Amino acid sequence: MKERAKSALLLVLILSSLSITGYLWMGFPGGRAAPVEGIYLPPAPDPQAPPLTALVVPGRVAVHAGEDRHLVGRPGEALFRLVWDDGRLLRRSLTMVMEPHTGEREEHLWRQQGPGFELWFPLALPLRQWGQLYSALAWQQLPEFWVSRFHIYLGGEIPKLVVEGPSGILCYRLREGILDLLQVVESAAGVSGPAWEELPETVDGVAVAPGAYVPVFIDTRPFHIIPDTTSVNELVRKVFFDVSIVRRIEERDGSTIFTDGKRGLRIYPQGGWEFTSPLGGAEDVRTELEALVVAARFAAAHGGLVEDSRIVGLDRLWTARGFRWSVKISVDLEGVPVEGADYPIVVSVGPHGVEAYRWALRKPGPNFGIARSPLAAAAAVSLAVSALGVPEDRQEQEEISITRVELAYWNQPPGMVQDDYRLEWLVYFSHDRLVSVDVRSGQTTVRR
């Protein structure tokens, strides 16, 4: 009898221990907080982030070889590698800057006939920091003028560099010694690659900005998305230095929240997660380049960067506590970027480091399926114009235009199910309007 009583008591203790452990790890019902079981562990060594020059690269380059011959290349293509040359072209051009050129802006600036180059970047930076990033000589003398596009003109009487950004353009004379750049043009003219064409000046009565080059032949097969295998415990220990004080909350939508009172981590059941640290860290961030470095290091250490990751956006915001930078990171799939309602990685950087971090980087696997004939860009633009409709505002009716057309794989925000990356034409209109068109089905979606 006594042995039975001991066995029953032992069974009760075991069941109680299992129940308590389950509550500690899974949280109490109804969203109540439960402590996370764990011991004090130092964070794992941070993986080294790629150099900033490997993350900040043009989305495409163009070579004007003369006689109305224009070649375009994307990351990963032979023409891109030859022209970009790990940033040497930009470094050389910024070093050759001599003095501002006061001549008026040429009509159809980017439709140059003579030899030259163009570099399209997906983000803008002050010209001085472009020079600093690519180690141009005397970069300190360059202005704080935000630039996302570079035009290098080597023909005519005055070789010049024209930089373009949100506020307009600046034009500089280039020093003598452009022979090596002309040799790059000559070499690029002999490189074979995918064909590109320029869209017509108008589509269905809507003006198209000059220089809207689009690829002619594209692979329409979608890419599989590889499930993320990062464990919750591993992620928690990357974010929190001492997991013994972290509490866990189960939300009714299936999300899980971890917090130590100063930082918060939300993990979505469908994949992706968000991190907040309102006070930032111990960094001293004062410039855009410093914000990019901090963001890249944090992204590499938390969730990781995949091959061909790129920094594709930088917004500077002013608040009562100083500047804040929103850094957007994406990935290229065979030269085509992943964009969407939300970028794969968004890092909010304040004066003391990372204050928020959103990770929805769905890692791509191989593409699959049967390649179909793609919807041509001009047809996609026509569908986009029809989907957008006629603006109600009269002034907007007169000013509506197509600013650019890009190919991209659409990315869903964290918390939404997504099994693959599908290719879409993104048609950007003035007034910050955007329509996407599926290259396989022609389905249109007004994104904003």
For 374-384, how does the pLDDT look when each residue is reduced to its tens digit (9 = 90+)? 788 888 989 99
Secondary structure class of 383 (helix, strand, coil): helix
Using CA atoms, how far apart are residues 424 and 218, in angstroms rounded to an integer?
Answer: 11
H helices present in 27-64, as ranges: 52-55
The confidence score (pLDDT) of residue 177 equals 66
Using CA atoms, how far apart are residues 23 and 248, in angstroms rounded to an integer?
Answer: 10
Using CA atoms, how far apart are residues 337 and 340, in angstroms rounded to an integer?
Answer: 10
Closest of 329, 303, 300 to residue 236, by C-alpha: 303
Sheet holding 97-100, edge to edge: 69-73, 60-66, 116-126, 146-153, 160-165, 168-174, 97-100
In order of 29, 248, 303, the CA distances from 38 in angstroms are 21, 12, 21
Contact (Cβ atoms closer than 8 angstroms) between residue 24 and residue 36: yes
Q: Report residue 307 CA to chain centroid gap.
A: 13
The confidence score (pLDDT) of residue 126 equals 92
In this structure, which amino acid lies at residue 420? Answer: D
The confidence score (pLDDT) of residue 15 equals 39
Q: Which residue in the block uniquely carries the two structure tokens 């032979």?
A: 78
Contact (Cβ atoms closer than 8 angstroms) between residue 337 and residue 75: no
In order of 110, 111, 121, 170, 192, the CA distances from 198 in angstroms are 12, 10, 19, 25, 18
Contacts of 262 (CB under 8 A, 6+ apart): 277, 279
Angle between helices 88-95 and 179-189 (to 10 degrees): 150
**Number of neighbours of residue 311 by Cβ within 10 angstroms:** 23
Q: Sort 355 into a burial class: Cβ within 10 Å, 0-12 / 13-18 / 19+.
A: buried
The confidence score (pLDDT) of residue 320 equals 73
Report, as ranges of residue numbers, the positions in the chain whose pLDDT lies below 70.
1-47, 67-68, 98-114, 176-177, 227-230, 279-282, 304, 321, 366-373, 390-398, 414-415
Using CA atoms, how far apart are residues 25 and 82, in angstroms rounded to an integer?
Answer: 54
Contact (Cβ atoms closer than 8 angstroms) between residue 265 and residue 275: yes
Residue 410 backbone dihedrals phi, psi, to 5 degrees: -85, 135
H or E stretch at 234: helix 232-239
The confidence score (pLDDT) of residue 18 equals 35
pTM of the model: 0.78
The confidence score (pLDDT) of residue 42 equals 34
The confidence score (pLDDT) of residue 45 equals 41
Secondary structure class of 377 (helix, strand, coil): helix
Q: Which residue in the block uniquely carries the two structure tokens 């986009």?
A: 384
- The angle at the Cα of 123, spanning 119 to 125, to the nearest 5 degrees, equals 90
Closest of 92, 115, 81, 281 to residue 193, by C-alpha: 81
